[in-house]
Structure 1
Amino acid sequence: MEINDLTPAERRVWEAFPRGDGVDFREHPEDSSVDGAGWGPGRTLRAEVLRALLLGAAPAVEGRVAGLKIKGARIVGKLDLRYAVVDHPIRMRDCWFERTPLLYGAQLKALVLGYSTLPGLTAATLRVDVVLRLSCCRISGPVRLQGAKISGGLFLQGAVVGPVTGEEADEPPLQLNHVEIGTDIIANDLTVHGQLRLNGAVVGGQINLENAQLLAPDGTALQAETLTVGTNLHAARARTQGRLNLTGSRIPGRLNLAHAVLDNPGGIALRASSCTVGEMWLPACEDVRGTVNLRRSQFDLLNMRPGTWRDPLRLDGLTYRALGPHLPAQERLAALETGEPGYLPYPYEQLAAAYRTAGDEEAARTVMLAKLRRHRRTLPRHARLWGLLQDATVGYGFRPLRAAGWLTALLLTGAIAFALQPPRPLKQGEAPDFNAVFYTIDLMLPIIGFGQEQAFAPSGWHQWLSYLLIVTGWILATTTAAGVSRSLRRQ
């Protein structure tokens, strides 16, 4: 391409490129690229001219670093850099693109398109040595970055992607599956009208989705299966419509969904099953509409306040070492009672283990008692009756003082009744002195003998009282032994 073929606007860029100087076509600093379709020839650049520059058409200037640095331009035609190796940084801020840039398989130093308006971006398997910036861009078509490798960071904060229409309407608007990011993905305040796809992505640092809006009603807003993050995934105050899918992800730091709005009524709002996460933060998520599935995941810390979920929690196989905030067991049990269908013992055992780790043995016993009561509802009638008896008497061994209370009440009843009307001796002159208390103990506790029961014979209603004491004593002894032995085996 000859310099004589250039328009005045293109000549400015051609001359500035070898020196790395910037060219600002904006008439006012507040100019928005959204209005770029109406910009005139003085702000219009042909994509073929930019391609020629980036591929070495302009002579180098010794001692200067060449680079494309443009603000406020209207780019017409197709910027086709497929498979190109570009050794110069590309900075095109506040620009309006007539057609989707094609960067498939390209190798770039740096690409900055901040505050620009594009009909899409095709850059699968792109290689970037430094950074890719799409901050505050307005992109109406799909962004195809699958398989891209970026040594630095990917910046999407404030960007708006989609909704995608026309022939590309079935594509996810933001495709980051299998990307490799050397440092961070910064995407706070990002808005995606459709699915953000991150399947198999590897991010060396953090992912920041704070205040982001992922809007895919009746679909999947975030598809991030087997995502690997180096540190944290922050999505505090994020808003999602549709399913949030993090199945199989690895996040060694914190997965923070504090104050997030997860909205997928009638479906799964959050699926984080089979994940390995350092700290899972779900506090104050009062607007979760949909099922939360945490099955088979492993967390060091699960920070989740109960009572804020409208739909069930799926917790079978979930393992966590610590649970926060520390609350009474009764407040935690409601989520287990309304969560998994049927009887599943593991969530109860895991909750009890977390309380034991925190040193709250009383809460752990309460959880295990609730587990046995839940199990009782699945048993045959005769087994349920036996369970009810163990529960009422000794709380399945977790409430041993109940047996002492029953025994004390029966002992007082028997002692007072027999003291007021002592039974007759079986052999006059051979019986020991009558003692109402020890006589009652002899009746109630079959393994203890004070010689009172064999020496005296009650009559009338006292005889029926003695039968009652014998039967209840056997029942209390049997249920106490069964409950306490069960408790000891668990511990």
Structure 2
Amino acid sequence: MPQPPGLNDAEQRLWAAFPTGATVVLGDDRPAGPLPERMVRAEIITQLLLGAGDSRPGSVAAVRLRGAYVIGRLDVSGGTVEHELLLSHCRLVEEPDFSNAETRQLRLNNCRMPGFDGGGLRADGFLSMSGSKIDGEVRLQRGQISGGLRLNGTTITATAPEKWALSGGSLVVDVGAFVRNATITGGVRLVGSRMSGGLFMEGTTLVNTGRIALDGQNMVVEDTAEFSNGFTALGTVRLRSARFNGILSFSRSRLDSTDPERMALHASHMQADELLLWPVERIKGRVSLSYSRISQILDNPSVWPDELYLNGMTYETLRGAEFKDRLSWVSRDPEFHLQPYEQLAAWYHGIGHDDLARKVQLAKLRARRRRLHPVAKGWNHVLDWTVGYGYRPWLAFAWFAALLALGTTVFSIEEPRPVKPGNELPAFHALIYTLDLLIPLDTFGQQLSYDAVSWTRWVAYALVTTGWVLATALIAGTARVLRPASGAN
């Protein structure tokens, strides 16, 4: 097709270069200003993309333009684009519209534009806006990008607080989504998206103060999700019900909800093969991993926030913290729950540390005690002091030995008198008499044969009472240990 009339010099050069895909350079590496020699109408680019230009055998036709000032709206919405588009260091006055279009490879690198509409875009190749400055929203919801998404070094700024800077709900990206060293103000929405080649956001800063910085609910990421190596989220990172078939990394990142009452990381009901939660500083805001299933967790006590929700979370391996730190880890939920303690105890038991598993169970019961009414709390203190809730039965024997020594000493100094004087009575023995008082049964016949006198009578009463308490506590504690834990509190 011959060149249409009315083309300016820059447009004539572009039309002539299209059949061979040659790059038309109109300026330097800075986004173009409104100079006449750089102006290209968006409708001319649209016509070429939609097949108005000629092709040449042996060459691949394409629109490749550098340093242009594009006026008008580049609109191929709903169309089929058979040619590659490469715009480099260009200024687009109006937002390009590729919604519901079928395209080849699209590159708008180091450009400046007031937004990008790619809702429903189906790209047979990659979509790149690396290095561009976008003063508006990038909409990619329901898009399908087979060659990968590249937003490396891109700056996106939403025009209003209630709008998403990058909206990619139900977006499907093959090969991988690379959003490295970008600055995105206004939040990123990737709800229900699928990243088949991984999601890489190293060095990127997301700013949405007091709101959601990244919404990745129900997102599926194959391979690796890298929110690491300088990644910063000023706002909530929400990954509820997301699935990561690989590593989810927050290594050397920064998570700050900007509001202590908000979630810094909301990752409940999530699935991941491995979670690396090791930011460069303590997480500012709440963190929820409730009801998540994670094969391996690597974290560090220095980064845990004050409020950490772990109820219902299951895991296979823990790394990065000592035993005493793990006890603190499971106790940071403002509400008491049995499950985090049970899960931690099961893990220690599974790796052969039964002693540590018992200590976790003991810590669980002590934490639960703080929420009981006064009477129950008092009895729980008795169980703890005497038998360690059944997890330290040797305490009962230690108490028993101490009381036995006390009683033997007391009744050796002040011997009880016979109940019925006569020769049929067994010979008095202070140790055996004390045993009879402590054991809640008249085992040796000394208790019924002799009666303590004077002040030692009160010692005898105390030994009988203590014996019953020890026996009851030992039975109750043992029954507690042997009985399966029940309840969801």
What is the TM-score of this pair, normalised by structure 1?
Answer: 0.92
CA distance in 2, matches of 1:143, 1:354: 45
Equivalent residue in structure 2 for 1:209, among 189, 197, 201: 201
Cα contact 2:287–2:305 (8 A) shared by 1: no
Equivalent residue in structure 2 for 1:389, among 382, 390, 405: 382
Other structure's SS at 2:327 match: helix
- The answer for the alignment partner of 1:24 in structure 2 is 25
Other structure's SS at 1:281 match: strand
- The answer for the alignment partner of 2:180 in structure 1 is 188
Mean alpha-carbon deviation: is it higher for 442-451 or for 195-204? 442-451
| Structure 1 pair 319–448 and aligned structure 2 pair: CA distance change class (3 A) | farther
1:281 and 2:282 matched: no
Mean alpha-carbon deviation: is it higher for 241-250 or for 15-24? 15-24
- The answer for the alignment partner of 2:168 in structure 1 is 176
Look up the equivalent residue of 2:376 and give its one-letter code: A
1:160 and 2:158 matched: no
Equivalent residue in structure 2 for 1:92, among 66, 87, 98: 87
Per-residue deviation, 1:414: 1.5
- The answer for the alignment partner of 1:43 in structure 2 is 38
Question: Structure 2: any 5+ residue segments left out of the alignment?
Answer: none
1:333-348 aligned at under 5 Å gives the runs 333-341=327-335, 343-348=336-341
- The answer for the alignment partner of 2:296 in structure 1 is 301
Other structure's SS at 1:289 match: coil
Look up the equivalent residue of 1:44 and give its one-letter code: M
- The answer for the alignment partner of 1:482 in structure 2 is 476
- The answer for the alignment partner of 2:405 in structure 1 is 412
| Structure 1 pair 69–239 and aligned structure 2 pair: CA distance change class (3 A) | same
1:387-434 Cα shifts (integer Å, max 9, x gaps): 111111111111212112111111111222233444344444334444
1:177-224 Cα shifts (integer Å, max 9, x gaps): 111112211111121110111011111121111121110111111112
Per-residue deviation, 1:326: 4.0
- The answer for the alignment partner of 1:223 in structure 2 is 215
Other structure's SS at 2:466 match: helix
1:125 and 2:120 matched: yes
Look up the equivalent residue of 1:465 and give its one-letter code: V
CA distance in 2, matches of 1:173, 1:440: 80
- The answer for the alignment partner of 1:319 in structure 2 is 314
- The alignment-based identity, stated in percent, is 34
Per-residue deviation, 1:382: 2.1
Question: Structure 1: any 5+ residue segments left out of the alignment?
Answer: none
Look up the equivalent residue of 1:188 and give its one-letter code: R
Cα contact 1:144–1:176 (8 A) shared by 2: yes
1:122-174 Cα shifts (integer Å, max 9, x gaps): 11111101111111111101111111111121011110001425xxx642121
- The answer for the alignment partner of 2:368 in structure 1 is 375
Look up the equivalent residue of 2:30 and give its one-letter code: S
CA distance in 2, matches of 1:482, 1:324: 35
What is the TM-score of this pair, normalised by structure 2?
Answer: 0.92
1:80 and 2:105 matched: no
CA distance in 2, matches of 1:361, 1:24: 72
Cα contact 1:148–1:178 (8 A) shared by 2: yes
Per-residue deviation, 1:87: 1.3
CA distance in 2, matches of 1:173, 1:104: 17
CA distance in 2, matches of 1:451, 1:134: 94
- The answer for the alignment partner of 2:439 in structure 1 is 445
Cα contact 2:107–2:129 (8 A) shared by 1: yes
| Deviating 4+ runs (over 6 angstroms) | none
CA distance in 2, matches of 1:356, 1:228: 33
Cα contact 1:312–1:335 (8 A) shared by 2: no
Cα contact 2:192–2:219 (8 A) shared by 1: yes
Look up the equivalent residue of 1:460 and give its one-letter code: S
- The answer for the alignment partner of 2:12 in structure 1 is 11
1:459-470 aligned at under 5 Å gives the runs 459-470=453-464
Cα contact 1:123–1:145 (8 A) shared by 2: yes
Cα RMSD of the aligned pairs, angstroms, is 2.1
- The answer for the alignment partner of 1:200 in structure 2 is 192
CA distance in 2, matches of 1:386, 1:32: 77
| Structure 1 pair 411–221 and aligned structure 2 pair: CA distance change class (3 A) | same
Cα contact 2:253–2:280 (8 A) shared by 1: yes
Per-residue deviation, 1:81: 1.0
1:365 and 2:358 matched: yes
CA distance in 2, matches of 1:326, 1:310: 15
CA distance in 2, matches of 1:218, 1:482: 50
CA distance in 2, matches of 1:478, 1:285: 51
Equivalent residue in structure 2 for 1:137, among 132, 137, 145: 132
CA distance in 1, matches of 2:99, 2:378: 71
Per-residue deviation, 1:287: 3.6
